[in-house]
């Protein structure tokens, strides 16, 4: 499932966009300010230009320094060429001008995601092929059966490789408040057993990462 971070401080618009995207099958987290936002674990950032405190453009500039390969769309009332060029200069991938129709937003999101994730198959070594879009894992051309939680865990590690993912982040991302360190360890053990011990590495005192 595609995970979108929505950054919008207008309550009415934010709720409308949040509800619409969820109805279309996206996993959406909605933030009203930049203070509590983390850059990891998302497939696309949908950001309002005008925010309290840091502007949407400044936020994306900071984001792109850490994760240059993350798709970003700006929502804005600004439509001049100079405004758009200033956004493209910091790495904005697309604009949608307020007010907008939900169908246009959906089309732009799909177009940006397609450019970034047009090849969803990821090869790990010579044996493993992981297809993010179709949620499948092949080992020596034979499909490996992972549970939804196991695949979600493997997917977030893949999307953030080679950076190690913190234990607490992984637990919260996959299980939320129902997760635990023991649950995480059990799932890592199960994934390793199914696809190979060398794919996921332990980083002592930190968490886990994908071995390339």
∠ Cα 175 179 180 (to 5°): 150
Looking at the structure, do residues 97 and 169 belong to the same domain, yes or no?
Answer: no
On whether both 112 and 128 belong to a single domain, the answer is: no
DSSP element (H, E) containing 51: none
User: 45 with 128, same domain?
Assistant: no
CATH number at residue 141: 1.10.10.10
* 133 and 151, same domain (yes or no): yes
Q: How many domains does the chain have?
A: 2
Do 81 and 30 belong together in one domain? yes
Per-position pLDDT tens, the chain of length 212: 678 999 998 999 999 999 999 998 888 999 998 887 887 788 899 999 888 767 888 888 888 888 888 899 999 886 656 666 666 677 788 989 888 999 999 999 988 887 776 656 677 776 788 887 778 888 877 888 899 999 999 988 988 888 899 999 999 989 988 889 999 999 999 999 998 888 899 999 999 998 86
CATH of the domain at 105: 3.40.50.2300
Query: Do residue 171 and residue 110 come from a single domain?
Result: no
Is 103 in the same domain as 8?
yes
The whole-angstrom separation of Cα 40 and Cα 70 is 10
pLDDT at 77: 80
Which residues span the domain enclosing 98? 3-116
Question: Do 96 and 138 sit in the same domain of this protein?
Answer: no
Q: Where are the alpha helices (DSSP H) in the chain?
A: 11-23, 56-66, 81-89, 102-116, 148-159, 167-174, 181-195
Q: What is the pLDDT of residue 106?
A: 92
Of 116, 148, 171, the one marking the end of a domain is 116
Q: Are 134 and 193 found together in one domain?
A: yes
């Amino acid at each position: 499932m595609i995970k979108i971070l929505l950054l919008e401080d207008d309550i009415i618009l934010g709720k409308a966009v949040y509800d619409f995207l969820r109805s279309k099958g996206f996993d959406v987290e909605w933030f009203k300010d930049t203070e509590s936002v983390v850059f990891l674990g998302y497939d696309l950032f949908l950001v309002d230009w005008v925010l309290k405190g840091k502007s949407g453009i400044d936020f994306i500039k900071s984001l792109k320094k850490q994760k240059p390969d993350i798709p970003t769309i700006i929502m804005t009332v600004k439509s001049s060429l100079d405004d758009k060029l200033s956004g493209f200069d910091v790495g904005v991938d697309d604009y949608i001008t307020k007010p907008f129709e939900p169908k246009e937003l959906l089309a732009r999101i799909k177009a940006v995601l397609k450019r970034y994730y047009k090849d969803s198959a990821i090869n790990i070594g010579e044996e493993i092929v992981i297809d993010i879009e179709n949620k499948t894992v092949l080992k020596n051309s034979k499909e490996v059966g992972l549970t939804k939680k196991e695949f979600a865990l493997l997917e977030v590690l893949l999307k953030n490789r080679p950076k190690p993912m913190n234990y607490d982040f992984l637990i919260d991302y996959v299980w939320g408040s129902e997760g635990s360190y023991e649950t995480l360890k059990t799932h890592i053990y199960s994934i390793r057993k199914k696809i190979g011990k060398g794919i996921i590495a332990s980083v002592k005192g930190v968490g886990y990462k994908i071995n390339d």
